[in-house]
Amino acid sequence: MEQPPAGSGSGDEPTAPPGPSAPPRPERGSERPDQPAATTPRARALSPLKLAMVIAVLALGLAFGAKAPCLGTYVDDAGVSQLDWRDGSQYTRFCYSDTVPLYTFNRLAEGSLPYATGWVDVSSGKPKVRYMEYPVLTGLFMYLNANLTLGWEAVVGAEVPVIAYFGITAVLLALAWLAVVWASLRLTARRPRDALLVAASPLVVVHAFTNFDTLAVAAAVLALLAWARRRPVLAGVLLGVGGALKLFPLLLLGALLVPCLRAGRMAEFWTTAAAAVTTWVAVNAPIALLPQTAAGWGEFFRLNTTRDMDPDSIYYVLRTLTPWPGFDIPPFPPGEGPEVLNTVSLLLFLGMCLVIAYVGLSAPVRPRVAQLGFLIVAAFLLTNKVWSPQYSLWLVPLAVLALPRWKPLLAWMLVDAAVWFPRMLYFAGPPDGIPAEPFLHTVIVRDLALLLLCALVVREIRRPEFDRVRVGGAGDPIAGVTADEPDRWRLRGVRVVRPARPAPEEPAHVG
């Protein structure tokens, strides 16, 4: 395998591989990045793991505080306490959370079983039977929390049950993000303090409790940890679980495919992919096949096929700020959606995946899994017709693992988090809201910031000597079964090149 050129080893200068006098490298898995070298009580008290957890708890506390203004109540004319979301205050106070309206909208307050209980929605002007619109495990998570709320109400009492529901949900979502921080810390190898940015991300403060996405992020990062520890079946199971929460974790299979292709370890890739698909099918089959829930199970797919472009998408920006009318002109016939937009967004995503695959297969050194995963998920968000603001949480651990550079990462996170505030005011409408233009301008800045991060990641893939994770000749901490394997081949232009003397990848270390 071709080695990166040598250099000075600091900042943006090339870093030299260790010379003959370098100390022996520890055995794979022996380096524990969450354990400091010092053993004094002060050093132990400030270990990266403890510090990361403290910071994460503080960030999650701020996240809860940001939603707290939406948990106020008032007494209506009938003398009944109600959640105070009058006059669009959930938008003007920037505390909106999907978890609150979904509690009533999905009939969870009645203890109804998701996917088996439908209701008639007349918001579009035409009656339509609706069901739970989330993937199976997310729907069952909501159902579990609703039943816990009923138990809380029976034992302790709850004047406004949805407040108890939000509190229970927030606790479990917070635990999921703590799992993300823990797994990220294990995956940062010799740079454990990089995981502090996962713990302290502004996106966590704004979106940890906006929806249920921390669950899927936890499954995705734990799957990467399982792969790093050479447990392909467990990695696949966790990706399948993540896919049953939100589909995006399944995209990470693409990040595993490229290094397995180059290293000739396709058996392990297919094992992981089979485990992921089997797990996803096993979770979904009972709901999809039972006559009582079959119609409800398909709601997630129907909704995502028939819904129009989201206000946070680049397509909505173009349709609103330019004369372009869009690919499809709403309203759409019943049961149909923006077919051209669906096709274009899918083809754009697949095209970007092919570009990412080429970058990975032609790079002088095998790209790191996190680099490929970040690029794939970023491509999905940039080309998809829906980019709900909390989807940006998907990128946080991947970005930190792919590009451990605090300044550009923090700048992107702040810009992305800032989109929330004009978005809420846009949704508030007159007289307290703002027009679409200021909100859409922040969406453009967010997309440009993400594209800049993608460019930096591609630069480090093409020029691995600039990759801070590889300083000192270290390998990919998430390489897993490919860690000690030489490249069997790579692309050079459109030609397949096979090294005459394959050089093994440097051993990777994971906690």
Position 501 scores a pLDDT of 60
Within 13 Å, how many C-alpha atoms sit on residue 274's CB side? 8
Burial of 323 (0-12, 13-18, 19+ CB in 10 A): exposed
pLDDT score recorded for residue 182: 97
What does the block give as tokens for 231? 């447990």
Handedness of CA 286, 252, 407, 422 (dihedral sign): negative
CB 317 within 8 A of CB 444: yes
Beta strands 119-121 and 73-75, pairing class: unpaired
| Burial letters 423-433, b for 16+ CB under 10 A, else e | bbbbbbeeeeb
For residue 7, the model assigns a pLDDT of 39
Give 430's DSSP letter: T
At residue 307, what is the residue type? Answer: R
- Please list the pLDDT of the chain residue by residue as tens digits (511 residues): 444 433 333 344 444 344 444 444 433 433 444 444 444 555 456 788 999 999 999 999 999 999 999 999 999 988 899 999 999 999 999 999 999 999 998 889 888 888 998 888 776 677 888 899 999 999 999 999 999 999 998 898 888 999 999 999 999 999 999 999 999 999 986 788 899 999 999 999 999 999 999 999 999 999 999 999 999 999 999 999 999 999 999 999 999 999 999 999 999 999 999 999 999 999 999 999 999 999 999 999 999 999 999 999 999 999 999 999 999 988 888 778 899 999 999 999 999 999 999 999 999 999 999 999 999 999 999 999 999 999 999 999 999 999 999 999 999 999 999 999 999 999 999 999 999 999 999 999 999 999 999 999 999 999 999 999 988 778 899 999 999 889 898 888 888 888 766 555 555 556 6
Question: Beta-carbon neighbour count of residue 474 at 10 Å?
Answer: 22
Angle among Cα 32, 175, 377 to the nearest 5 degrees reads: 75
Partner residues linked to 76 by β-bridges: none
Distant-in-sequence, close-in-space partners of 332: CB < 8 Å, separation ≥ 6: 306, 308, 338
Answer yes or no: are the C-beta atoms of 223 and 249 closer than 8 Å: yes
Question: How distant, in Å, are the alpha carbons of 86, 110, 334, 409, 412 from that of 125?
Answer: 23, 25, 11, 44, 40
Backbone dihedral angles phi then psi of residue 210, each to the nearest 5 degrees: -75, -35
Record the tokens describing residue 305, joined without a space: 């096929």
DSSP-derived 3-state class of residue 490: strand
pTM greater than 0.95 (yes/no):
no
Distance CA 162, CA 146 (A): 9
Cβ atoms of residues 504 and 496 within 8 Å: no
Q: 130 forms bridges with which residues in the sheet?
A: 119
> How high is the pLDDT of residue 510?
63
Residues in the chain: 511
How far is it, in rounded angstroms, from Cα 15 to Cα 460?
12
Q: Which residues contact 359 (CB under 8 A, 6 or more apart)?
A: 367, 375, 458, 461, 462
Q: Residue 40 contacts by C-beta under 8 Å, 6 or more apart in sequence? A: none
Cβ neighbour number for residue 401 with a 10 Å cutoff: 28
Give the containing element (helix H, strand E) for 147: helix 136-155
